[in-house]
Structure 1
């Protein structure tokens, strides 16, 4: 395990610079960092499914000030725009919801309302519930974008996009923005996607065969053996190792 820790620490050091986010290696974080705003970043995180190139192309096509626009302006600017499962109406309604979230105190406040009593799982669930409470609009695409509150860890998906958003908001480094305070890095849960899941199993960090919340927690606990205070510092490196197919022999 010492050899593996040394390898991962080396990868973390090599990746922890802004040049890692570039057109040749696109990542939604490069778009989120253009404003360093928690609500713009939430849009970037929740639309982060599909190919990285397609995600970045879609996010860069959006005006950065949409969060503060009235619905009539949103309709004029977003008419005909869609992204995979989200229709034009889904996207318009998302920005209506985000505007109201900002007016009600913001994402950080909503998250901390749940985090203070029930940790990260409670924080994410409270924030998701707040989003639904702010807007009665529903559709398959809209609900896919936001996800569902976590009722049971044993039945929950990995919630990769939400856990990635928390990494961006809580950690502060050359990549992550660290816009929030009062949330411990050691409480964060790994954002588990297919790349990270497969790499972690290949490296012996993860035994669970299903990519879900239980697997994300198992991986987080394994990485705490390397750094108990900041296990998610390994997330971006593991993702890139899988994406670039550079597993050590």
Structure 2
């Protein structure tokens, strides 16, 4: 398929899928749960637990009481004592909620922390570096599951795609019928693709990615391909590509 045909397909699919009915119990996505709360902390929880089978993700997210972020730490630990998800034990989940609770208690918005790094050169990885470091700093708890959830503080030259974090940024920055647009200080043109293994495979099949390795360089390559379609809002094609892969259209 030529690039012109791929471009036409993605433009049509992104337009067609930009409506609320695109996400439902029949067509689940973690954004469905995040959209109920429209809060940057609840959305972060939804995004970082968004790995594995999508039905299992939704079931877990819907079992959570996001109002716990407004309650005391004892209530958080007691309420979440029986919760677990894949690599995260109940203690990991308790501590992650405590981290978010403490961040809110400091009157710090996640956007303000992100902007401290991002504003220097409009590089979202600089913003993520500061935000992830901030979350680690306010809670000394460490475990394998907890660190998997937050991810590593990005190196100067990252290797990981940081898929869940870039998905979170898409939700926060872009504003349409799907993405929440809760942040105003970040430009859509600076976002990077939340690349997962499925969109990576389809991106290669459609000629949008030449790189053989699923890594950060592949993220940059697909983002550049999307920028040829819309320089100011390249990531609006991410959801369409994800759905095409999920539906096994190619």
**For residue 222 of structure 2, what is the aligned residue in structure 1?**
219
How many equivalent residue pairs? 246
Mapped pair 1:150 → 2:154: yes
Question: Which runs of no fewer than 5 residues in structure 1 stay unpaired?
Answer: none
**For residue 6 of structure 1, what is the aligned residue in structure 2?**
8
User: Aligned partners of 1:189 and 1:102: how far apart in 2?
Assistant: 26
Return the match for 1:206 from 209, 214, 219.
209
Contact 1:21 1:30 in 2 (8 A): yes
**For residue 20 of structure 1, what is the aligned residue in structure 2?**
22
Give the ranges of 4+ consecutive aligned residues of structure 1 lying more than 6 Å apart after TM superposition: none
User: Aligned partners of 1:52 and 1:192: how far apart in 2?
Assistant: 16
Mapped pair 1:33 → 2:39: no
- C-alpha distance after superposition, 1:151-210 (max 9, x if no partner): 133x42000000000000000000000000021100000000011101100000001111
Question: Which runs of no fewer than 5 residues in structure 2 stay unpaired?
Answer: none
User: Aligned partners of 1:123 and 1:51: how far apart in 2?
Assistant: 29
Q: TM-score by structure 1 length?
A: 0.97
Mapped pair 1:159 → 2:148: no
User: Aligned partners of 2:219 and 2:89: how far apart in 1?
Assistant: 30
User: Aligned partners of 1:94 and 1:176: how far apart in 2?
Assistant: 24
**For residue 134 of structure 1, what is the aligned residue in structure 2?**
138
Contact 1:71 1:92 in 2 (8 A): no
Return the match for 1:113 from 108, 113, 116.
116
Contact 1:70 1:96 in 2 (8 A): no
User: Aligned partners of 2:141 and 2:18: how far apart in 1?
Assistant: 40
